[in-house]
Amino acid sequence: MHEDWLAADHFLSNISITSNPNNEPVSIHGSSDRLRCVGIGTDAAVFQSIDVPAYAFKIYADDRIEKIQIEKKVYELLGDSPYFSTCFGSKDHYLVLNFEEGINLYDCLVQGIPIPNQMIQDIDDAREYARQKGLNPRDIHLKNVLLQNGRAKIIDVSEYLQPGNDYRWEHLKNGYNRYYHLIKGKPIPVKLIESIRKRYNQRSNHSAAFEEFIGNNYKFLSALWK
């Protein structure tokens, strides 16, 4: 295996990540003019190197370091698949992945970019593929699915060894099938999306039915399709 990605290691050492409570995005400390931040999640932040742009470097928060080897193992089990990225290696605080072009579903909503039906089918197919590999595909949400030439690419598999169903994908798919036609092609304000996200994450019962969430927040959610 070629390890030309090591050219970025010195610059990556200038970056540290800390997690935040209440499932909020991580905080980034330090910087380098040789790196570009391309994504921020609740466990890690992802950077692209100017020197080796073919790779994405997922730097984990200091208290989430154990997830590096877990996610690396998941990629090994997934193998070569059109639905998922590729892992090339790891260091103490980061994972090395293939840099994936595309826009995530969250930004599609913000910018009013239509999300095709094919993406929904692709994610269902990806989940079935992962199950056949003995994995549990969960934690699929707006920010970890990319739109690539009309198809879906899943870019976070860190929870696929955990048990249970968080119902995130089932709820997103249900919402897409029932309501997306009302907002398709319409830019949605970030403030509104974030308010809905926080309400969803604050549910007392995280496996609560989609209909219950809609019913409890109907007046608030209806702002999306006015």
Average pLDDT, the chain: 90
Complete domains list, the chain, with CATH: 4-98 (3.30.200), 101-187 (1.10.510.10)
Burial class (CB in 10 A: 0-12, 13-18, 19+), 214: middle
Top-confidence residue, 64 or 200: 64
For the entire predicted model, the pTM comes to 0.86
Q: What is the pLDDT of residue 206?
A: 55
Q: What is the pLDDT of residue 207?
A: 54
188: CB partners within 8 A, 6+ apart: 109, 110, 112, 224
Each residue of 3-45: pLDDT tens digit? 899 999 999 999 999 999 988 899 999 999 999 999 999 999 9
